[in-house]
Chains A and B, each alone.
Chain A
């Protein structure tokens, strides 16, 4: 039997992180809660990028991480401007709490890696995380958004997430 490493377990958790909320039991989220999930999901990928910038010396990984940090900051800025305009306050909820709990495990697993092993773990997680976030945005956050501008912002983010996924898969091939 294959030994399941801590990182493999964390990665499995991250790929399934939205699974309980994308079935028939989708939670009902207010716009304030949708906004909070959106901001948290973007901040988590910025945090992963910061770990990569500290631990990796690989040019492709560093450039990818820099792009992730900049792009997700741009999305957070857009979301922050919108919630100010709408006069709503993002509200913590079960989905955003689960995201943060799972991200803590993944961060610990990443911190325990070095060199090529870290590069592979980081990019594998980026592929898995973007797949999970795309599913969550399309399957949960967009349908749950009532405000048209919030819904439009989320719809506008999907092409960026899909481009990030394709880019991550391209980099991932270098570490097979």
Chain B
């Protein structure tokens, strides 16, 4: 009888050690379905800032974003149509067409106007902030 109680106790102990609560697992969920892997340096430990711009209802939201040099911008397509993200003046940088749910990241080195080359009236703006402007 003592052995049986001991066995039940061990099983219960092992179960509680190997299962996390529902709340713990929910807190680890990614907010977006990201197609590309986010590089390791995006992790919070590196203290780099990632700004998220959603593409929805044929708009970049927000359409104007203020960032610092070296920050990253993550565009996430939440629309039903494909979109891309293209620098306006010289097409210095451009994403591939982004399907619904996929995303693209840019490391910001300078301010820029950008647009969707598939829907040329969709426009956005990146404003570079210096630390003194904060």
Chain A residues positioned under 8 Å from B117 (CB to CB): 63
Whether B58 lies near A163 (C-beta < 8 A) is yes
Mark each residue of chain A from 59 to 71: 1 if its CB lies under 8 Å from any CB of chain B, else 0: 0000100010011
Q: How far is the CB of B97 from chain A (nearest CB, A)?
A: 9
B97 to chain A: closest residue by CB: A70
Mark each residue of chain A from 69 to 89: 1 if its CB lies under 8 Å from any CB of chain B, else 0: 011001100100000000000
Also in contact, A156 and B119, with CB within 8 A (given A75-B80, A78-B80)? no
Whether A74 lies near B81 (C-beta < 8 A) is yes
Which residue of A63, A70, A78, A160 contacts B58 across the interface (Cβ within 8 Å)?
A: A160
Whether A70 lies near B81 (C-beta < 8 A) is yes
Give the CA-CA distance A164 to B81 in the complex, in Å. Answer: 12
Whether A67 lies near B58 (C-beta < 8 A) is no
Chain A residues positioned under 8 Å from B42 (CB to CB): none
Q: A interface, how many residues as a size bin?
A: 10 to 19
SS class of chain B's interface: helix, strand, loop or mixed? loop
Whether B121 lies near A70 (C-beta < 8 A) is no
A9 at the interface (CB under 8 A from B): no
Q: How far is the CB of B122 from chain A (nearest CB, A)?
A: 7
18 contacts between A and B (CB under 8 A): A63-B118, A67-B118, A67-B119, A70-B81, A70-B118, A74-B80, A74-B82, A156-B57, A159-B57, A159-B59, A160-B58, A160-B80, A163-B58, A163-B121, A163-B122, A164-B119, A167-B119, A167-B120
A170 at the interface (CB under 8 A from B): yes
B99 to chain A: closest residue by CB: A74
Give the CA-CA distance A114 to B70 in the complex, in Å. Answer: 51
